[in-house]
Amino acid sequence: MTEIDIREAARLAQQRVMHSDVPIPRDRRRDVTRPPGPSQVRALRGFSAPGAAPGFMVEVERTYPAMAHLRLLGEHVYVLTDPQAIVDVFVTHGRQTMKGRALQGAKVVLGNGLLTSEGDVHLRNRRLVQPAFHRDRIAAYAIDMVSLTAAHEATWRDGETVDMQQDMAALTLAIVGRTLFGADLRGDAREVGKEMEAILSGVGARLLLGPTVLRIPTPARRRALEASARMDVMVQRIIDEHRAMGDNGDMLSMLLAAQEEGMGLDDAQVRDEAMTLVMAGHETTAMTLTWTWMLLSQHPERAAWLHEELDRELGGRPPSMADFANLPRTRAVIAEAIRLYPPAWLQGRRTLADLDVAGWLIPEGALVLASQFAMHRSTRWWETPLAFRPQRWIDGSGEFSEDAPGQPRGAWFPFGWGNRRCIGEQFAWTEATLVMATLAQRWQPELMPDADVQPMPAVTLRTRDGMPMTLRRR
């Protein structure tokens, strides 16, 4: 790509970032008392040392069991560690907040799509996209999910070593590609995967810097901008093809057909939504499945507990949506993996008003953080929190229940909250359950004995060096 193209890509990205629907307030107050918290040096180290941030959040949760205040990049940051305080900010006062720095920064790639837009634009986006996640649509996607998993399984070879992180990402990308763009994305899946990787590794860790990310001319920035520009071209081509084809029942057709007050979405808006759904929808589920495989490999007795259910309920046949209710152990295994390794491990907001929370005043313009990673591992709310015990999700009548462990609301929020709750939650549960139920019937991948698996917080909680596993037939 030439220098001119990069400049153009940077200009486009800058435009996306700067397009803000609400003014961004800053907390510069001097007249408020702030709760105690870690020093500025400790906070900077906690967030910037590679891989350190989830552990730092755990440390803050243990040391400050309600709320901590710290300074970071010139901002006042409140870390919430009390479940009720988390509910107060993210649910009760959800509409008096906007997304935090990382998602503001993510506009570089995602523009003004559902994940990153604010206020009325977000409300309109949500209404437009919602029908694509209706129960009936998910049931239709379930058929694609199972058939794509079966096709993927056909590429697995007994005894072969794979990077499970990449392997699962290829599968979930194919699934999101098929449901979002129709069958024609299969050929592009690998390419999209590569571009995503470049974008994530290029801007991922720097997202906390917000829009500043674009002004630091690093090789990673260049890679991310190039990849983003190539994705733009690809998404535009797919949009043009869809226009020519007419409605073929996938999400993109729905977006193109969407009308509001007689106005359809323009191509830039469709591009932002499509990009958002691919980004938000594939990596999260891929990581859920990857961590689940790792945990099952490390706990053969839990794997046997799962296999007993799959053999009994499915007896070797492919699962379907109708089996969902009869697979409580499969769902429990996934829930437990999400608890220990939540793909969305940290959530941030900026306050749009002064908020009264847990006896403290959080001023307008402050940043608020809540970490799924820390809250899901807290000894205050979970029995033996570091143990992989999927049984904790099975209630007295043998059903899967998200309430079964007895944790308070606010200590379990893998899909976020309120008006910004994950729109793909049911999609993700369906996908992860059906993929696991299909593959774990016949396969028991083993983590390589010398694998050094280090959680690495990027946009999602990934691993530093992949997840090397040997495929083993059961």
Among left, alpha and beta (phi > 0; psi -120 to 50; other), residue 431 is alpha
Under rule CB under 6 A, residue 420 binds ligand HEM: yes
Work out how close the CB of 420 gets to ligand HEM at its nearest, in angstroms, rounded to a whole number.
4
Work out how close the CB of 207 gets to ligand HEM at its nearest, in angstroms, rounded to a whole number.
12
Burial of 427 (0-12, 13-18, 19+ CB in 10 A): buried
Contacts (Cβ under 8 Å, ≥6 apart) of 449: none
Work out how close the CB of 125 gets to ligand HEM at its nearest, in angstroms, rounded to a whole number.
7
Q: Which of residues 125-144 bind ligand HEM (CB under 6 A)?
A: 126
Judged by beta carbon, residue 347 or residue 433, the one nearer ligand HEM is 347
Among left, alpha and beta (phi > 0; psi -120 to 50; other), residue 75 is beta
User: Residue 389 and residue 385: Cα distance in Å, rounded?
Assistant: 9
Judged by beta carbon, residue 126 or residue 442, the one nearer ligand HEM is 126
Angle at 153 between CA 136 and CA 199, to 5 degrees: 75
Q: Which of 78, 341, 388, 415 binds ligand HEM (CB under 6 A)?
A: 415
Under rule CB under 6 A, residue 444 binds ligand HEM: no
Under rule CB under 6 A, residue 210 binds ligand HEM: no
Contacts (Cβ under 8 Å, ≥6 apart) of 200: 283, 458, 459
Work out how close the CB of 460 gets to ligand HEM at its nearest, in angstroms, rounded to a whole number.
8
Q: Which of residues 343-402 bind ligand HEM (CB under 6 A)?
A: 343-344, 347
Q: Which of 114, 146, 340, 366 binds ligand HEM (CB under 6 A)?
A: 114
**What count of other Cβ atoms lies within 10 Å of the Cβ of residue 442?**
15
Under rule CB under 6 A, residue 461 binds ligand HEM: no
Near ligand HEM by CB under 6 A, which window of 53-61, 324-332, 399-407, 415-423? Answer: 415-423
User: Residue 26 and residue 450: Cα distance in Å, rounded?
Assistant: 47
Work out how close the CB of 271 gets to ligand HEM at its nearest, in angstroms, rounded to a whole number.
14
Contacts (Cβ under 8 Å, ≥6 apart) of 398: 328
Q: Which of 214, 422, 439, 471 binds ligand HEM (CB under 6 A)?
A: 422
Work out how close the CB of 425 gets to ligand HEM at its nearest, in angstroms, rounded to a whole number.
7
Under rule CB under 6 A, residue 428 binds ligand HEM: yes
CA atoms within 13 A on the CB side of 266: 2
Number of residues that bind ligand HEM (CB under 6 A): 25
User: Residue 38 and residue 56: Cα distance in Å, rounded?
Assistant: 10
Q: Which of residues 83-112 bind ligand HEM (CB under 6 A)?
A: 99, 103
Judged by beta carbon, residue 19 or residue 42, the one nearer ligand HEM is 19
* Sign, Cα dihedral of 388, 460, 171, 113: positive
Near ligand HEM by CB under 6 A, which window of 202-210, 339-347, 351-359, 397-405? Answer: 339-347
Q: What is the DSSP string of 123-177?
A: HHHHHHHGGGGSHHHHHHHHHHHHHHHHHHHTT--TT-EEEHHHHHHHHHHHHHH
Amino acid at 121: V
Judged by beta carbon, residue 34 or residue 141, the one nearer ligand HEM is 141
Under rule CB under 6 A, residue 423 binds ligand HEM: yes
Work out how close the CB of 380 gets to ligand HEM at its nearest, in angstroms, rounded to a whole number.
21
Residue closest to ligand HEM when measured from CB atoms: 424
Under rule CB under 6 A, residue 54 binds ligand HEM: no
φ, ψ of residue 151 in degrees (nearest 5): -65, -40
Q: Which of residues 149-208 bind ligand HEM (CB under 6 A)?
A: 176
Q: What is the DSSP string of 212-265?
A: GGGGS--HHHHHHHHHHHHHHHHHHHHHHHHHHH---SSHHHHHHH-EETTEEP
**What count of other Cβ atoms lies within 10 Å of the Cβ of residue 204?**
21
Judged by beta carbon, residue 297 or residue 347, the one nearer ligand HEM is 347
**What count of other Cβ atoms lies within 10 Å of the Cβ of residue 236?**
15
Q: Which of residues 261-320 bind ligand HEM (CB under 6 A)?
A: 276-277, 280-281, 284-285, 288
User: Residue 192 and residue 190: Cα distance in Å, rounded?
Assistant: 5
Residues found near ligand HEM in the complex (CB under 6 A): 99, 103, 114-115, 126, 176, 276-277, 280-281, 284-285, 288, 343-344, 347, 414-416, 420, 422-424, 427-428
